[in-house]
Structure 1
Amino acid sequence: MTSHQVFPSTGFPAYPTIKLDAPAGWSQQVVPDAVGALMAPTAEGRYTANVVISVSRRLPGYQLQDIAASVDSFLDALPDAVLLGTEPVVINGRDWHVREARYTHPQAGSLAQFTAVTVVHHETAADIVQLTGSCQPTEGSDDLKAIYSLVASADVTPAS
């Protein structure tokens, strides 16, 4: 007899709920391999600041320090990478690993990439929620502040 399996279910839990406060003028975008993205208003000849929202599933027991090491390794491998300080951060009651890097993108030039990750544990899985913000770190630009604010608003809860 065939057994039907359903997503979401206890065996295949739904992804967490992710609530973010987008800065004024930012728009929602669908992007491949992500839950979605928020984009700053576009300006001719200028890199468009953005935050990509992704969720990936791991086996139970996967911890924040595991994804933190992976994030740091990825950022350190970017061209001309300079990793800025990191520290554990609590956002809306949830532990996050937050790291910023400055690097040189082949087409866009100097960029800042701000990555924040947290782990949502289920009985049968661990979900990694990742917010990755990118912008040009130009003098007087509010893009990086907007990314910081957006990440600071993150409210991530397990699906019920």
Structure 2
Amino acid sequence: MARKHCTYPWTCWPPASQQRLFKFILLGTAGLCFAVFVGATLFTGALGQDIAAEKEQYGLVVPLVREITTLRAAQGDLVQFSPEEAVRRILDDRSLNDYVASLRATRIAEDQDGVQVTLNGLTLIMLTDFLQDVRDRASLQAPEFALTRNPEEPRLADVHLVLAR
């Protein structure tokens, strides 16, 4: 007896079994899509709640950080000096005088004195230490800041900044 060749495994099944198989496949696919949709909805809802909680926590922390920054600035040992004198002392303390291209007093606004500083050939660590001292010890901020790569040595930086209180 010649056996009938089946293209797909289910083609040799009785029609009722084929119908049942395709119903299960259809229901399984629909169930899987529903599960993915519900999972994605629950996941995004949880993310939304997490984001809201993080925003609330950030809102509580921001005033504390501002207060800490204000207190730190008020405790600096160079606050009583002019911006130019404070920067000169920081440069002396950090031994950065060899890197100074220019340093001169300037006026930012009618009632606000400042200092323009250009430093050449600094490493990133030297620059960050200098800026940290400027902020913490002298309570100065940089309304103008330009950082460029040193033309002679690309691994070093040149910086031009204006500092004021």
Normalising by the residue count of structure 2, what TM-score does the alignment of the two structures yield? 0.31
Task: Pick the structure with greater CA Rg.
Answer: 2
Of structures 1 and 2, the one scoring higher in RCO (CA 8 A, sep 6+) is 1
- Structure number with higher helix proportion: 2
